[in-house]
Structure 1
Amino acid sequence: MRLAAKSLGWAAGSRRIVQEVSLEIAPGETFGLIGPNGSGKSTLLRLLAGLLARPFGVVLLDGDPLTSLGRRDIAQQIAVVEQIAETSEALSVRDVVELGRTPWLSALAPFSAQDRVIVAESLAAVDMADMAGHSWATLSGGERQRVQIARALAQRPRLLMLDEPTNHLDIHHQLSLLRLVGDLPVTVVMALHDLNQAMRCDRLGVMEAGRMVACGPPEDVLTPARLASIFRVRATRLRDPADGATVFRFQCLEE
């Protein structure tokens, strides 16, 4: 799915949170949003998903304005995993993941054997199959994050949006998740804090004070000068001798 934004923005009262963002993301691309706290990453992600009212500008899915599509149509194409997911309902892990099938169900197409297969595959993909019967309320933060990602996978979207998907996860599940997302045959947009993880993306958009100030391949975007000016860190590029990948070592500029 091709995703585009033209002069996209959003304000809370008189305060502009996101301003004049224009971009185009190709089908199958993994696009990362990075920037310091309060730069507008999460708000931009929600705007691209059509989750905020009264935006400025336009979002296009395969050339069609997002506003021209019904909520069911959007839910069949876009899955969103936000940073915090809570519920007061007494749900099991399987119940939560089954919610991902809701956009595809109707009186004429009730929950089927195929839906159960999709739910099982989604749980297995995030290493939560053995906890399918556990209560949501008993899960750790990292386990809840993995279940929410399984719910999004069960939705079978063409566009997957993730807000800080590696939050709360141990390093093994962080790396497993990033590999899983990178292998999916869908367009992915995700906000990330870890800049070394962001290097895995096809392209990055850098947010600062609500504006996208740079966009391009990670090696071009994450320059020492830009990291110093936006993140206030001294960055040293290193090469992993195992595979030649670029990694960064960071120090505060005050040090």
Structure 2
Amino acid sequence: MDFGRADRESLREQLLRARIAGEVATPREGNLEHYRRMVAKYPDYQFGLALKDWTFEETLDMMARLCGVNPDPGHVRGIDTIDPDLTIDALEAMGARIGEAAREREAVLLATGHPAKLMVVYRALEDRLRAAGCAVLTPAAGWSYDADVHFGSAYREIAYTSGVAALFGDDGLPRHTHDPRPMQAMLRELAATDPGYRPDLVIADHGWAGAAGEAGIDTVGFADCNDPALFAGQVEGKIVVAVPLDDGIVPAEHYAPLIAYLLARAGLGD
């Protein structure tokens, strides 16, 4: 994929056009339900973070400030929004931390709960970080367990696409997940191999990011407007930055300008 170049204004226009930000496909009623579930401490909506007690009102206010959703509690259904300027601001903060990792040749771990759409973003980062001399870690390859899914349980296994971890089913296909347990298994293996060792930086989303942030590792991640836990983790100082974007509907090729912008801000562009 040709990532090309993107300045702030052209990226902003493209984010809106592709619906990565602006009026996104994630419905308002789903957003509000997920906020309630995080507040109620449903494990699947905590992403492995031991969050403080949040009220629904605090959560909605926080998501309006950090993600750009509609702040009106009376808006209960229909379209919701992600502010493209907040997306770009967060990309710049993420790029700064990734750039530091590249300059210092840090050990990095990458993982995604949205492999169908976001793998292209992680793979681009992996390639540039390797080229900069970073160690890209791949612990716990093949670790498996029975994951909780809506119809009961199902086999899941950690597998890597180059150096990016994701969960795969017994049919060899990648799977969406919120679960923090795979990241926890990866960190356990690293510590068992070399006591006290852990990555300098984790680039991830969902439970992969939450578990790393909860472990005290510098973590940057991506999160949709129905994923409040990583934004709450940012407020609580457990996540360095969460980038708000649509993470599940937009075709993967539409992320190319975002990738170009992020790489440029990290000093890893062409």
**What is the TM-score normalised by the length of structure 1?**
0.30
Structure with the bigger RCO (C-alpha within 8 Å, sep 6+) is 2
**Greater radius of gyration (CA):** 1
**What is the TM-score normalised by the length of structure 2?**
0.29
